[in-house]
Structure 1
């Protein structure tokens, strides 16, 4: 409650991308200018040390004023070994939550805004069915409560064009459909670009080699056999 009466927390975040011997390196620093409401939540020594570990620092790092394209001299290099933890696998609940809050996985501010205003991927009536279909087609598998991608699923994503694997397209469609509902654009203005996009995706996919994709065992559906009765025409 008291936080709302405190001044803003102000800090300067600097990120520099460097090209050294053909490799891309990133250096970043954070300098606190005004603690503001943060004084109510003092960081423990453990949290401070973790911050330093995240940045690979023994002390708070600062960066001098720099300009784009400026040439610098690399005095020395050091290899630091660290251990990282992979993100936790999805469960049924968290996967549904991720589809609803897909904007968390998008960096573009405009696309993130559109996805926040909509229901994310799918609808309440279709999300469970989409996940079930991915299981039936062998793209997802269960390991206890965890849901992971199969070898086939990973290979398929790698083989598809990027536009077919990102939620950006959904956001663009949602924005256009909203504009149509508000009578700010026409149906044809939505369908023509969509047709062109699908055509480009098909063309791109036709140039890809799917020969290396893992094979999926075909499971034929069990059903009643169909019999065809043959008759012969009697000669008159």
Structure 2
């Protein structure tokens, strides 16, 4: 009988002072020591502040925090690496008194903005989770905060559908809209269909239905009327021609290879599964675990290739062949069959 693992002892510094450490080792030790010391400091007390001001007839709004008691943050006051990558910098506001006034000399900052970086599959999934941040209406932004676009189990399939219909394409790690996708967006004249606000409106009404403050039949009638109106709009509107992304033509079956075909050899598939995409969800890379190669999003996807199958320990190349080709080459010493095959149910069997 085995007991479930509950918790682990924290990593703490000992009474032995470290000497002759390399730079990276010093950094790790500093992280552990600072965290240990900070645990004995009092809590950091902050006040979330919203300031509404007016200059002449122009209203201004600023939100941020006022630190009342720094507490444990004193340990990290000079630590420039405390800010995590991708995390927005905290806006610290000075102390304001309600109704205060004073002179102000405006300053115009001249600079250049940089365009946002292209999406990768990881950042696109994150943007779908936090789609409400782009909505201006505060009430809808709050409704979308815990919902976003799609669900965790459907977002990967949504992205895969866009790839399959050639609305988006991947260049290296980045994702770009194709001409077909851009033409389609230009064709849709209803701004509501292109905005997360539609999801926000539905979420608001569904919550009202839960509270008994909105009739379910009314919601269904509104959906039917919306579809009718959109259909009428599509039938009567004038649209531009959408450029269809061309399919890659198959090579001509002449039986002879041209000089260029002889020079251009087909690239060999990677021998390590770590550089491959999960063949089941087709949205996440494979990662090496303790007993198997599995989808990086294993909890939702469930795909894995065990290190050992049919009494035979598999090499990285054989695992990669299962992902790329759906089967391995002939393997000596299998308990049953001569090769391993990845079935339609994404199970590895001997055949």
For the superposition of Structure 1 and Structure 2, which TM-score range results when normalised by the shorter chain? 0.5 to 0.7
What residue in structure 2 maps to residue 186 of structure 1? 215
What is the RMSD of the two structures over their aligned residues, measured on CA atoms? 3.9
Q: Please give the TM-score of this superposition, normalised by the length of structure 1.
A: 0.60
What residue in structure 1 maps to residue 157 of structure 2? 129
Matched, 1:206 2:251: no
- Given that 2:132 and 2:145 are in contact with CA atoms closer than 8 Å, whether structure 1 keeps it comes out as yes
- Given that 2:140 and 2:204 are in contact with CA atoms closer than 8 Å, whether structure 1 keeps it comes out as no
- Given that 1:159 and 1:208 are in contact with CA atoms closer than 8 Å, whether structure 2 keeps it comes out as no
> CA 1:7 to 1:81, structure 2 compared with 1: closer, same or farther past 3 Å?
closer
What residue in structure 1 maps to residue 177 of structure 2? 149
What residue in structure 1 maps to residue 205 of structure 2? 176
> CA 1:8 to 1:150, structure 2 compared with 1: closer, same or farther past 3 Å?
closer
* 1:87-117 deviations in Å (ceiling 9; x for gaps): 0111111111111111111110111011114
Q: How far apart in 2 are the matches of 1:192 and 1:131?
A: 30
Question: Structure with the greater relative contact order (CA < 8 A, sep ≥ 6): 1 or 2?
Answer: 1
Q: How far apart in 2 are the matches of 1:15 and 1:132?
A: 50
> CA 1:104 to 1:15, structure 2 compared with 1: closer, same or farther past 3 Å?
farther
Displacement after TM superposition at 1:174 (Å): 1.6
Displacement after TM superposition at 1:153 (Å): 1.2
* 1:38-77 deviations in Å (ceiling 9; x for gaps): 9x889xxxxxxxxxxxxxxxx9517xxxxxxxxxxxxxxx
- Map 1:41-80 to 2 at 5 A: 61=106
Q: How far apart in 2 are the matches of 1:15 and 1:142?
A: 47
What residue in structure 1 maps to residue 137 of structure 2? 108
* 1:151-186 deviations in Å (ceiling 9; x for gaps): 121221122110110011111112222333444333
> CA 1:2 to 1:158, structure 2 compared with 1: closer, same or farther past 3 Å?
same
What is the aligned counterpart of 2:67 among 29, 37, 41? Answer: 37
Q: Aligned to 1:141, what secondary structure does the other structure show? A: strand
Q: How far apart in 2 are the matches of 1:206 and 1:30?
A: 44
Q: Aligned to 1:37, what secondary structure does the other structure show? A: strand
- Given that 1:30 and 1:61 are in contact with CA atoms closer than 8 Å, whether structure 2 keeps it comes out as no
Q: Aligned to 1:128, what secondary structure does the other structure show? A: helix
Matched, 1:162 2:191: yes
Identify the range of structure 1 (201-210 vs 170-179) with the bigger mean alpha-carbon deviation: 201-210
- Given that 1:9 and 1:37 are in contact with CA atoms closer than 8 Å, whether structure 2 keeps it comes out as no
Higher normalized helix content (fraction of residues):
1
> CA 1:36 to 1:136, structure 2 compared with 1: closer, same or farther past 3 Å?
closer
- Map 1:2-41 to 2 at 5 A: 4=45, 37=67
> CA 1:216 to 1:16, structure 2 compared with 1: closer, same or farther past 3 Å?
farther
Structure with max Cα Rg = 2
Moved over 4 A (4+): 6-17, 27-31
- Given that 2:167 and 2:181 are in contact with CA atoms closer than 8 Å, whether structure 1 keeps it comes out as yes
Q: How far apart in 2 are the matches of 1:214 and 1:92?
A: 24
Q: How far apart in 2 are the matches of 1:174 and 1:84?
A: 34
> CA 1:3 to 1:149, structure 2 compared with 1: closer, same or farther past 3 Å?
same
